[in-house]
Structures are given as C-alpha cells and as structure tokens.
Amino acid sequence: MTDTMRASLLGQIATYCESNAVPGFVAGVFHDGEQVVAAHGTANVATGAPMLADTGFLYGSVTKVLTTTLVLQQVERGVLDLDAPVVTYLPEFALAVPGTAERILVRHLISHTNGIDADLYFPGDGGRDALKAYVAGLAEGHGVLFAPGEQASYSNGGMIVAGRLLEVVTGVSFPELLARDVYGPAGMTGSSSSAEEAILRSTAVGHFIDPETTEARPTGMFTLPATWGPAGGTPIGTVPDLLAFGRTHLDGGVSPDGTRVLSAESTALMRTVAFDMESPNVPPLGMGWVIYPYGDTTVHAMSGASPGGVSILCVVPEHGLVFAAFGNTPSAMLLQDQLLTWLLREHLGVEIPPLLTEVEDDVDLAPYAGIYRSDQLRIDVAVIDGQLEETVTYEPADASQERIFTAFAGGATAAPPQRYVPIRPGLFAPAGYPLDAFDGYLRLLLVSYHDVRDGRARFRNGGGRLTRRS
C-alpha cells in the first residue's frame, strides 16, 4: 500500500493546493498494519519552512476526542460518574439562569447535549487558572439554549467545563493531565499544549487569503487562549500522533505499543450514538466522536478549526482504517472531504449512496424566517425569491472577545448574505451546489430548522450548532 498510497495522496494534494492557494497540507493513512504520511508545500509562507510529515499544527476541535478520553479514564477509575450532576464535583459551576447548571450531568458535557450557550465565549488567557476563570465567567452572563438532553448542539463550553472538572478531581492541570494520560500512553511523542513547546519543533501556522491579492497570509494569532484548551485552543501535534491516537481507538483502547489507554467498553461507548437530531446535516453524536454514516459504513470523525487552519481525524472500524490531515487555510477542508471520500470509495470499495435524492417543490418558507441567536451570534433569515437568505453577524460582548474572534476568523465579524434553496420542509442547501456535494463531510454545509410550533421554528442548526429564535 505504502508507495502507491503516498503517490495518490501527493497527487491529489498538490493539484488541490496549487489550484486553491493552500500553502501546505499533510495527510496520513493507517490501514491493514501499514502507515503512510504525505506532506506538500509550505508550513509558513513568512519563513518558507516546508510542510513535513512530522510538522506540528494545532489540533483544534480534534482535541475534544482527547478530552473525552480523559473523562472516561476517570469514570473507569471510579472518580467520576457519567450520570452524576457536574456540580457534584464542581460546586462552583453555575449559569446565569438559576437552577440550570444543576441539571447538567457529566455525560451531557461530552455528548454535546448540555445546552450551555457559550460557543463563542472567548475570555482572556487566565494563566494556570484559565479553566477556573472560564467556569467563573459562565455564571456572569451565559444561560442555556435548551434543557440538558433535550437537543444537541456542538459545544465548546461543555468540553471546557469538562476540562476544569478533570482538573478538580485529579488535582492536575489540564495540559499536564493530557500529556500524562493521553500523549504519553498513546505514543503521541510530538504533541504538546503550548506555543513555547511547539516552537522547539517544526510547526505550521494557519493562513488566510488576502481578498485584494488572493495570496495566503499568515495568521496573526497562533493559538487561542488557554481558556479554550480542552475544546481545542492550545493542543498541538502531528499527523503521526493523530494516527497513533486513532489506532488506539481502533484497537479498543490499546495504543500501537500495547499500552492500555482506555478500556474496550469505554472506547465502544464513545462510538455509541448518544443523540441523533435525525437530520441529514447533523450526523449522530457519540461521546467525543461525530458518527458519520456513509451507506453501510460508519466513520467516527472529528474535525478542528484553528486560526487559519483545519485538521481532521477519522476512524473507520469496519475496515481498520485511520485517516488524519491538516491544511493551513480554511479551504483545505474541501480537500480533506475529497481525500476521505476517495479513501472510502476507491481504496476500501465503500458504496456511498446519495444523501439527498429528492427535492420537494412548494415548501412553505414562512416558518423559518426570523432572527435566531446564540452567544454573541445573530442570524437574520428572510424569504427572498423562493429562497431563504441568511445573514450571519458576530456581536462581540467586549473589545477583548472581538479581538480574539476576529483573529480566529481572519478579520471579519460578519459574513456576506447566503442564499439557501429548500430541499424539504426544515432542510436547506446553500444555493449553487450540486446535491452530490453533500454526500460526504460537506453535509455540514446544509442548514436545518427544528421544533416548529404555531407555524414558527424554534431552532436553526448550521454546522451542528443551534441558534434559538429570539
């Protein structure tokens, strides 16, 4: 597999990067006992450093699977109970609406069913007490989008609270715990949790496309604040490290060198559906993993955005395959989708049926028009020419959070209006895309609306995140 796979990966990577101004990309595949990593291009256009097989990068939200692994380790040791309220262990945990935090269980934190409305809450660094400061800040102005367990919404806040919970019950800081109980046992020798450590190795930075020159420029912010560590703000590592972690989950919690990292039962629990929104754009959620059906094959995946970069980790248990990749512009997500689809179809022979086969005519659009909000995010939805037009605006709570968000997003606080065409009641696709574009990972670009009451939808779901009608 090795030589042929590397040549195929490099060919697709080079073609895409050169056509789409992606400076650098690295991808790896493990299958049937063989592993290959292919790297192309530049890790940092400011220095000209090459992207290498062992170049480090920010994991972004792939970290959430690592955080979940840490939580379940403590469950196995009898330190945590998934069905206990978080306040049992973290009594200072509170939200702006009295009585809501007390209903959130430990399992809700790692299954994205907690409802905490803090997805864009970016408090400052906080130093060693960063996670303690984050939890304290939740009580000052953050409520819930829904009652715990009632819905699912991709939750940075839940993972960060889980990270603080781990610190309290173990007495060890989250970065130290991650290094001790995941990086070390899983064989992730190139992983760290700070820029100071990462700079000692070859490390890539993210880039954004300059709208005037159409050239890639390096991000002005390498990591997010330490307050975002457990959700993906600071952990850094390599594609071989992610493959080692993926192989650990592929092999029932045993790392490539034979070290037991997690029990087979906990590994299986992470891959078990915890909540299903029953909408094509929102794959079922496990604990840590997002569970993508590709026909009869299941891909357990997590992708991660960082300032100007995107990562992905996928485990395909039925075929014994692990795929990991990083690209240093946001558009590299399309290449990750392309490579994953190619691996499934061409390498594994998986049949991927169309996700969307029919488009309904005469869908009533009135229930979906309105204003939807979540923490510091406003989405205006209007009906125009038989389509929905959405305008997404970031509304920063203060100057500090605006600085962090705009650096993370490449400088913008609002996106241009986007038109959506109806597929069926409650489900919409961005205009101009062929339906087969959504068969793979890009199904996340679809938008759905949920819980229609009295002719009005209560929730909008985009990218797995809920906003609530205001």
Q: Which of 61, 303, 311, 448 is catalytic?
A: 61
User: In the structure encoding, which two tokens stand for residue 352, read together?
Assistant: 């991927």
Cα diameter, the chain: 60
CA distance 346 to 358: 26
Asked if 446 and 438 touch (Cβ cutoff 8 Å), the reply is yes
Q: Is the dihedral of CA 232, 216, 205, 405 positive or negative?
A: negative
* Interaxial angle between packed helices 2-20 and 332-342, expressed in degrees from 0 to 180 and rounded to the nearest 10: 150
CB-CB neighbours of 260 under 10 Å: 12
61 annotated active-site: yes
Asked if 466 and 151 touch (Cβ cutoff 8 Å), the reply is yes
Catalytic residues: 61
